[in-house]
A and B are shown apart, each in its own frame.
Chain A
Amino acid sequence: MQTLHINGDTHQLDVPADMPLLWVLRDVLKMTGTKFGCGIAQCGACTVQLDGKPARSCMLPVGSLGDQAVTTIEAIGATPEGARIQKAWLKAEVVQCGYCQSGQIMSATALLKAVPKPADADIDAAMAGNICRCGTYIRIREAIKQAAQS
């Protein structure tokens, strides 16, 4: 039995401790906003936040979460940084297919929280783990800067 704190709710789940959070979210809790891209922490599509820090849920065993609060894309808009990022994302029309964007937004939000006025180097360091196959990087950079300004 695992106890998970997700988006303010507490779940008691009968899942193995070594099961990655990604599959618990998607297949058990039916929260499909968090995406599967690679399964080996190389693409960032599955990014969630643990106590505000970005984490790749595909390699994150639920048994290791402890009391940490998990935030997913479904609830990130309720945080001030999340709301600003989402707004900037729409303003800059970042999104193409959208599949990577949950992860991008989770990483960008965490960045904004840690570094309120990120420079290009900060954006590179924080966002390089998130692949976008559609190539929306130019606008991701723009949108993060816009959000930092707002």
Chain B
Amino acid sequence: MSRLSDHAAPSRRAVLQGASVAGGGLLLGFSLPRAAKAQTASASGVFAPDAFIRIGRDDRVTLIMSQVEMGQGIHTAIPMILAEELDVPLSQVTTEEAPPNDKLYGNPIFYIQMTGGSTSVRALFMPMRKTAAAARAMLVTAAAQTWGVDAAACRTEAGAVIHDASGSRLGYGALVDAASVVPRPESPVLKDPKTFKLIGTPAKRLDTPDKVNGKAVFGIDALPDGVRFATLASCPVFGGTLGACDEKAALAVPGVRQVVKLDTLVAVVADHMWAAKLGLAALDIQWNDGPHAALSSVDLWGAIGKASEADGVTAQKIGDVDAALKGDGVITASYELPLLAHATMEPMNCTVHVTPDSCEIWVGIQVMTKAQRIAAAITGLPPEKITIHNHLIGGGFGRRLEEDGVGVAVRIAQHVDGPVKVVWTREEDIQHDMYRPVYRNVMGGRVENGKLVAWTHRVVGPAIIARYLPPAFKNGIDVDAVDGAIDLPYDIPHLRVDYVRHEMAGVPTAFWRGVGPNSTIFAAESFIDKLARQAGSDPLTFRRGLLAKNPRGLATLDLAAQKAGWGGALADRTGRGIAFQFVMGSFVATIAEVAVADDGVVTVKHITSAVDCGTIINPDTVVAQIQGGLIFGLTAASHGEITIERGRVQQSNFHDYRMLRINEVPTIAVHLVPSNEAPGGIGEPGTVAAMPAVANAIYAATGVQIQRMPIDPTLLAKKRSA
């Protein structure tokens, strides 16, 4: 029986050996048993060879989508893979949201039903092909049996089986009943990639037409009959609780129906959001701030600085770094990243209807089964009594890998008679996020005769994995925090990567687009430029020297350099900077060009990225994701920082937690490297690339290296004497 996990991408060993690099990134394991059991019953008139594919007598192919759409184009890419291997036109495929079921729909990389970590295509490419190839083989067998011919003499095309010799042709719909009784082949023959007609061609996305006319339904648009609207205020200090709150003032607001008071929050339920907001504003709420009432950002930086003095756990070791560090030419530096909020455009929301024996949830979430489990735990209902309608997501970026919002909404809904839509205001969304943690990277290295001989990288930060996916937290190492650091694409003879786990009490942390590599690659690529300078080498030449054994990486870097015109003349206080990375299974070489004004204001003028993400499913989506990812990273580099004062998040909305706007973005050119290697992820690498590329360009333009994000222009102002 086919298991998706049997076919997921190879391990990072291959990466570390520098050969045939195909996997990489956050790959946690692929051996968890999962059933994709054939349900070959024809009574329903549907051919359903497994949990993913259903073909009806009307020729419609339905793909049960385990992955959610949040802008990354997965509701087009996976159908493309299926359509290719099944040999049907893309237009014949309809998608249907998978119900929560880890066994059937678990992401082979994460064990659970989850969309994240730029893993969807990586995890599902081969399994989906294999499952479609099996279905195709069964349809061919069914047709051959019907015609009494040899199956080997039949072929498929555009949703039909064809026997050329006799000129016979049967559409898949006509074969539904016959195919349902054909045994499923153990190892179906896959198409030769050379014959791909769909994969690798720019397909129009299937989810976009409804997104330009207002018809697309996001979680926040759910309107079950009789729904009421609620908004909430949570204790402004994490870990604090609700004190006194007289509900009278809110109930006096026309349209307010109810005030729900829970241990840590107050919600006002009303006929519409406006009344709910006014009701909440009218309340005089007393909070018990709890143990973190005095926390400040200064404390956070101080604590992580102290923590970084410890040795930590060794996560990667090559050669004898201690010996190699002896001698002249040793340099050190540290690189730090601040707290960040996700600030998805669709604010947090969840609609819930709780009855004594059921719980129905309307939401857009990256983790269906986790949502189901938290609702079950809160209501005490068995999981099968929890119905979840998953929706389009107005931006995930890791925020909706967390089910905390579902939990809050269910707890509120338990007190409400009928369905209630809980919508976080933007202020509440930003101040009660789960944040990208503060990270600190301490780097050391030694250059000898212009060559990099030793490299140490100490990653300091919380272990999100330990909370999120405990089985993956092994030997005290957070594989996400050190991702990118332990599998550098460079050939460095002596290397050690350590991890110091440092949790931040009082600030909940979570994954954020680009995850661990945002910190490790910013540090590593910035430090490479520092070492290059030490070696008296050009940043491109220096990197090329480290990539001699990595032809894919080298080709990607060279493509970017050539397209960006590396080495070409630049004006005063203008510079180009490189970021090169192998994360999430993709090589990305990025070159940013910046101009730094005398007053320190940085203008990112142009970004060139070359991308080798292995087999490309939808090239247009790859380009779009790299563009968007870069801009996401530029926002962080330019403006991104959440600060804490008196235990409270200081930022509240887009005026003080700024997003890059259209008049702040550079031009961006993305160049794709054709490849038949296993596909890599593309949702996050752009974000990872932006920060080091820009920082290195600033370094080139001014000689000042940015060592803490976001960029502080006052460090870059031209000295008066200069």
Name the residue in B212, B273, B629 with the highest tally of chain A Cβ atoms < 10 Å from its Cβ. B212
Once the chains are docked, how many angstroms separate the CA of A90 from the CA of B595? 34
B620 is an interface residue with CB less than 8 A from chain A: yes
Chain B contact residue count (CB 8 A cutoff):
63
Q: Closest residue of chain B to A93, judged by CB?
A: B620
Among A26, A38, A43, A139, residue most surrounded by chain B Cβ atoms (within 10 Å): A38
* Interface 1/0 per residue, A133-144 and B, CB below 8 Å: 111111111000
A36–B221 touching, CB < 8 Å: no
Which residues from chain B contact A128 at a C-beta distance below 8 Å? 661-663
Using an 8 Å CB-CB cutoff, how does the interface string of B656-675 with A read, 1 for contact, 0 for none?
00011111010110000000
Bound-state CA distance A125–B620 (Å) is 28
CB of B586 within 8 Å of the partner chain: no
Establish whether residues B665 and A138, one from each chain, have CB atoms under 8 Å apart when the complex forms: yes
Among A15, A74, A96, which residue has its beta carbon within 8 angstroms of that of B628? Answer: A96
B207, CB-defined interface residue at 8 Å = yes
Asked whether B211 is an interface residue with its Cβ less than 8 Å from the other chain, the reply is yes
Residues of A within 8 A of B632 (CB): 133-135
Q: Which residues of A contact B272 (CB under 8 A)?
A: 15, 19, 23-24, 27-28
For A28, the chain B residues whose CB sits under 8 A away are: 272
Query: B622-642: which have CB < 8 Å to A?
Result: 624-625, 627-632, 635
Within 8 A of A (CB), among B205-254: 205, 207-209, 211-218, 220-221, 223, 229, 254
Give Cα A19–Cα B275 distance, bound, in whole angstroms.
8
In this assembly, does A97 line the interface, its C-beta being within 8 Å of a C-beta of chain B? yes
Interface residues of B in 178-215 (CB under 8 A from A): 204-205, 207-209, 211-215
Instruction: Name the residue of chain B whose CB is nearest to the CB of A32.
Output: B221
- Which residues B252-279 have CB closer than 8 A to chain A? 254, 271-274, 277
Closest to A105 in B: B212
Bound Cα distance from A27 to B627, whole angstroms = 34
Residues in B whose Cβ lies below 8 Å from that of A72: 214
Question: Does B558 make an interface contact (CB < 8 A)?
Answer: no
A97 contacts B71, C-beta separation under 8 Å: yes
A131–B347 Cα distance when bound, in Å, is 13
| Number of A-B residue pairs having CB atoms within 8 Å of each other in the complex | 181
Chain A residue contacts of B207, Cβ below 8 A? 95, 98
Whether A132 lies near B655 (C-beta < 8 A) is no
User: In the bound complex, do residue B661 and residue A131 qualify as a contact, i.e. CB atoms below 8 Å apart?
Assistant: yes
CB contact between A73 and one of B205, B214, B345 (< 8 Å): that residue: B214
Binary B-proximity of A31-75 (CB < 8 A = 1, otherwise 0): 111111111101101000000000000000000000000001110
Are A42 and B223 also in contact (CB < 8 A) when A23-B274, A90-B212, A130-B662 are? Answer: no
Partner of B654, one of A43, A101, A127, A135: A43
Residues of B within 8 Å of A15, CB to CB, are 272
Residues of the A chain whose Cβ atoms lie less than 8 Å from the Cβ of B214:
31-34, 72-74, 102
**Nearest A residue (CB) for B70:** A97
B343 within 8 Å of A by Cβ? Answer: yes
Closest beta carbon of chain A to B271's beta carbon, Å: 8
CB-CB contacts below 8 Å: B396-414 with A: 396-397
Contacts of A131 in B (CB 8 A): 345, 654, 659, 661
In chain B, residues 333-370, which have Cβ atoms closer than 8 Å to a Cβ of chain A? 343-347
Select A101's contact among B212, B229, B347, B625, beta carbons within 8 Å: B212
Main secondary structure of the interface of A (DSSP, over half): loop
Q: Mark A90-126, 1 if CB is under 8 A from B, else 0.
A: 1001011111111001000000000000000001110
Q: Are A36 and B220 touching (Cβ within 8 A)?
A: yes
Instruction: Indicate if the CB atoms of B628 and A37 lie closer than 8 Å.
Output: no
Asked if B72 is an interface residue, CB under 8 A from chain A, the answer is yes
Contact status of A137 and B343, CB under 8 A, knowing A23-B274, A34-B214, A90-B209: no
Q: Identify the closest chain A residue to B270 (Cβ).
A: A27
The smallest beta-carbon distance between A49 and chain B, in angstroms, is 13
Q: CB-nearest residue of chain B relative to A132?
A: B345
Is B160 an interface position by the 8 A CB rule?
A: no
Within 8 A of A (CB), among B559-617: none
A72 to B214, CA, bound (A): 9
Name the residue of chain B whose CB is nearest to the CB of A89: B212
Checking B346, B621, B667, B668 against A97 with a beta-carbon cut-off of 8 angstroms, the contacting residue is B346
12 new A-B contacts, CB < 8 A, other than A98-B394, A99-B345, A133-B659, are A19-B274, A23-B273, A32-B223, A35-B394, A42-B655, A77-B213, A89-B208, A93-B621, A95-B207, A130-B661, A134-B345, A138-B665
26 examples of A-B residue contacts, CB within 8 angstroms = A16-B274, A20-B274, A23-B272, A34-B214, A36-B220, A38-B426, A38-B654, A39-B653, A42-B653, A73-B213, A73-B214, A74-B213, A74-B215, A90-B204, A90-B208, A95-B208, A97-B71, A99-B344, A99-B345, A102-B214, A123-B662, A125-B663, A131-B661, A132-B662, A135-B665, A139-B627
Chain B interface (Cβ < 8 Å from any Cβ of A)? 70-73, 204-205, 207-209, 211-218, 220-221, 223, 229, 254, 271-274, 277, 343-347, 392-397, 423, 425-426, 620-621, 624-625, 627-632, 635, 653-655, 659-663, 665, 667-668
Q: Which 7 A-B pairs have the closest CB atoms?
A: A33-B214, A99-B394, A135-B631, A97-B71, A98-B211, A96-B71, A27-B272
